[in-house]
Structure 1
Amino acid sequence: MLEVSLRHRFPGFALDAAFAAPTPGVTALFGPSGCGKSTVLAAVAGLLRPEAGRVALGGQVLLDTGRGIMLPPERRRCGVVFQDARLFPHLSVETNLRYGQRRAPPGTAGLPFAEVVDLLGIGHLLGRRPAALSGGEKQRVALGRALLSRPALLLMDEPLAALDAARKLELLPFLARLRDRLSIPMLYVTHALDEVDQLADTLVLMQQGRVLACDTLEALSARTDLSLLAGRRDAGVVLHCTVLAHAPERGLTRLGFPGGELLVPLDPAPPGMRLRVRVRARDVSVAMAAPPALSMQNVLPAIVEAVDPGAPHEALLRLRVGGAVLLSRVTLDAVRRLGLAPGQAVWAMVKSVAFSRGGEVPVAPPPPA
């Protein structure tokens, strides 16, 4: 378990944040710029001494101001990856990596050099200097250096924020591979929802220095009372799905999820692989009766659980579909015309083309409790 409770004041800003997250797994700190995410990470790493607080990892206390405990950064075994890679410019990629390896505490377990290089796909870069690397390559090397220090906790402070869209897409699969391969707990700071979708196991929502909510990504994405998520135009739920079969002749893949099945554009993932899929509220329509002929491939029986206010002239429906929840963004006019109310049986309809390939992300089984 990662336990964090912090209080600190800056001129014009106060941090008062607390959360607990299971380990191993990826805990994402998500919220707008300036909400205190990086301050929390700095305090966990030991780079900031808060006025009051406690940080513990797996029972080991890293910080407890009430008891006078303040382990220095080098004793916390935190591998830190910043927004800028911070590589030594005069050293080769291999020498940068070896620097991290030399910082590993004697006798600690971790991945060997060759496996880290292979995992991050940086073998062909070993002889280069940082100036000859792309932004995505620099971040992969920075990750490798942090991993080779054999950390007990991996801290990442918006590692993709400085990258363009192409480099970001290049690096995300490597981060997902790290999440699935390693048992190291990770604390990941971001304000990008697509990174949360692909990486997070636990989501911590922050706003103005406070924690609004902390729970699994699936649970928080299905809540309509959290404007930080539900108020976004790309709001929607994240579902854990399993690839059931492919129909190449139709260009479709069939996914199973707790509420039934979904047809999505043909995906290269093999049958049996688990995927995370975001179903956006704006892509879900409702009907009072099963439509006889429709271009939409996914028509699912559902029960309206809640009708909540959305943007002006809109409402957000919470729909129970078997063992899962979907959200649907509709107009207030539709609510009135259809008489939509909690407890009502409807049909939830989702276009197959609403599932872009970028939104379907391979995931490993969840870590044991």
Structure 2
Amino acid sequence: MLDLAIRHSFPGGQGFTLDAAFTAPGAGVTTIFGPSGCGKSTVLAAVAGLLRPGQGRIVLDGTVLFDSAARRMVPPEQRRCGIVFQDSRLFPHLSVETNLRYGLRRAPRTAEGPGMEEVVSLLGIGHLLGRRPVALSGGEKQRVALGRALLSRPRLLLMDEPLAALDASRKAEVLPFLARLRERFSIPILYVTHALDEVDRLADRLVLMEAGRVLACGTLEALSARTDLPILAARRDAGVVLGCTVLGHAPEQGVTRLGFPGGEFAVPLESAVPGAPVRLRIRARDVSVATEEPRNLSMQNVLPAVVEAVEAGRAHEAMLRLRLGPSLLLARVTQDSVHRLGLRPGLPVWALVKAVAFTPGGGDNPA
């Protein structure tokens, strides 16, 4: 477990004062999300020991890494934090294999963790071992950098926007490996990003930051349903994230059926096996409502719901909170629709979502 509470002012009074506090569990991916320049990478640097905060305390699994009151500052090399930066920072004069073995040499003799063969297999980089970094694509470099960090057998893996410098195709290449890493190993990960698709794919716990402060902390599913957090709710791609289970496939129809507490969704055909857990983002802009059960529609997802709240949105819009059993959906509609349909808390409605709204391969598909 990571416990962090730090405060730091930058020299010359430039920028904001960082004042952040949160707890990250000892397993899974804790993602720090927020706009560029909000202090995400500064927090990561403090955990890594690359920045000495003005005041505060950082504790990892009961070991004090930093304590301003006690004047304790553990050097970076003694913290056992593996780091993957936005740029891979591989040694250009060494082969891929030698770069990986450098990480292995940094691992304490008694430390348990993945071995060379396991990491190479997991990241699919066996065919790259003899190459130099200059001969690698951006996605390949990041996979090698990740492998080097894993082989150091860290207590905590720190990732500072590792996909930000990659184009869409290279990013799509690396994301599955990161998801596989989360599933395979028990190493806790602190992951910094400003990309919502990475949050949807990887985050178990979410830390929202803005202007140097933590706005909220919790599970992705819980925070995505909150409309009092503009950093999420004001986005055009705002929406809830639901944990689902694959119920089955209908290849002849080109759809997969996903179950969630409160109903089912039909999404474009997926390859996940029945019973597998998946995660689905339902964007508020893709949800419509009807006050009577619609018939003869092309939409495959028509679910009974109850309006829980009608909240003001941007300009002439409103945000509806729709209750489907224990689950919530958000729907972005016009104020005119609210008045015409008489939408109000407690009103039974039908929530409508197109199956094609869940784009295969993107942040809105099952992860």
Answer whether TM exceeds 0.5 for this pair. Answer: yes
In 2, Cα distance between equivalents of 1:254 and 1:142: 37
Equivalent residue for 2:120, pick from 96, 117, 121: 117
* Rounded Cα–Cα distance in structure 1 between residues aligned with 2:15 and 2:174: 36
- AA at the equivalent of 1:147: L
Write the distance in 2 (CA, Å) between the matches of 1:25 and 1:108.
Answer: 19
Choose from 234, 237, 242 the match for 1:239: 242
Describe the SS at the equivalent of 1:145: helix
Counterpart of 2:26, as a letter, is T
Q: Which moved more, 1:93-102 or 1:293-302?
A: 293-302
Out of 353, 356, 366, the residue aligned to residue 361 of structure 1 is 366
> 2:54 is matched by which residue type in structure 1?
E
SS of aligned partner of 1:138: helix
2:116 is the alignment partner of 1:133: no
Tell me, yes or no, if structure 1 residue 342 matches structure 2 residue 335: no
Gaps of 5+ in 1: 363-369
Instruction: Give the drift of 1:357.
Output: 1.2
Instruction: Name the counterpart of 1:41.
Output: 44
Q: Could you tell me how far 1:106 is from its partner in structure 2?
A: 1.4
1:7 paired to 2:10: no
| Stretch moving more, 112-121 or 12-21 | 12-21
Offset of residue 360 of structure 1: 2.4
**Secondary structure, counterpart of 1:336 in structure 2:** helix
Task: State the shift of 1:361 in Å.
Answer: 3.4
CA distance in structure 2 between the aligned counterparts of 1:296 and 1:307, rounded to whole angstroms: 24
CA deviation profile, 1:117-156 (whole Å, cap 9, x unmatched): 0000000000000000000000000000000000000000
Aligned to 1:270: 273
What is the TM-score normalised by the length of structure 1?
A: 0.97
Counterpart position of 2:212: 209
Pairs within 5 Å for 1:248-259: 248-259=251-262
Structure 1's consecutive aligned runs of 4 or more residues displaced over 6 angstroms after TM superposition are none
Question: Structure 2: how far apart are the matches of 1:309 and 1:61?
Answer: 45
1:179-211 deviation per Cα after TM superposition (whole angstroms, max 9, x unaligned): 111101100000000000000001111000000
Unaligned runs of 5+ in 2: none
| Among candidates 176, 179, 183, match of residue 176 of structure 1 | 179
Q: Which amino acid aligns with 1:15?
A: L
Q: Deviations over 1:304-329 (max 9, x none)?
A: 11111111100111111112111000
Give the letter aligned to residue 80 of structure 1.
Answer: I
Report what 1:224 is aligned to. Answer: 227
Amino acid of the residue matched to residue 88 of structure 1?
A: F
> Structure 1 stretch 147-156 or stretch 293-302: which is displaced more?
293-302
User: Following TM superposition, by how much is the alpha carbon of 1:251 offset from its aligned partner in structure 2, in angstroms?
Assistant: 1.1
Q: 1:190 aligns with which of 172, 193, 197?
A: 193
Does residue 57 of structure 2 align to residue 54 of structure 1? yes
1:293: Cα distance to partner?
1.9
Partner residue of 2:263? 260
Partner SS for 2:51 = coil
Residue in structure 1 matched with residue 75 of structure 2 by the alignment: 72
Q: Which residue of 2 aligns with 1:365?
A: none
Match of 1:310 in 2: 313
Counting aligned pairs with the same residue, the percent is 73
CA deviations over 1:219-251 (Å, ceiling 9, x no partner): 000011111000000001111111111111111
Quote how far apart the aligned CAs of 1:83 are. 0.3
Give, in angstroms, the shift of residue 12 of structure 1.
2.8
Task: State the partner residue of 1:367.
Answer: none
Displacement after TM superposition at 1:345 (Å): 1.2
Could you list the per-position Cα deviations for residues 67-124 of structure 1 after superposition, in whole angstroms to 9, with x for gaps in the alignment? Answer: 2221111111000000000000000000000000000011000001100000000000
- Distance (Å, rounded) in 2 between the aligned partners of 1:61 and 1:221: 32
Residue in 2 aligned with 1:154?
157
Aligned counterpart, 1:29: 32
What SS does the aligned partner of 2:121 have?
A: helix
Q: CA RMSD in A?
A: 0.9
Partner of residue 300, structure 1: 303
Q: Post-superposition shift, 1:58? A: 2.0
Cα distance between partner residues in 1 of 2:255 and 2:330: 23
Kindly state the Cα deviation for residue 57 of structure 1 after the two structures are TM-superposed.
Answer: 1.8
Amino acid at match of 1:66: A
Q: For the residues of structure 1 that align with 2:366 and 2:27, how far apart are their CA atoms?
A: 19
**TM-score, structure 2 length as denominator?**
0.97
Identify the range of structure 1 (17-26 vs 323-332) with the bigger mean alpha-carbon deviation: 17-26
2:9 maps to amino acid: R
Aligned residues: 362
| Aligned residue among 330, 345, 354 for 1:351 | 354
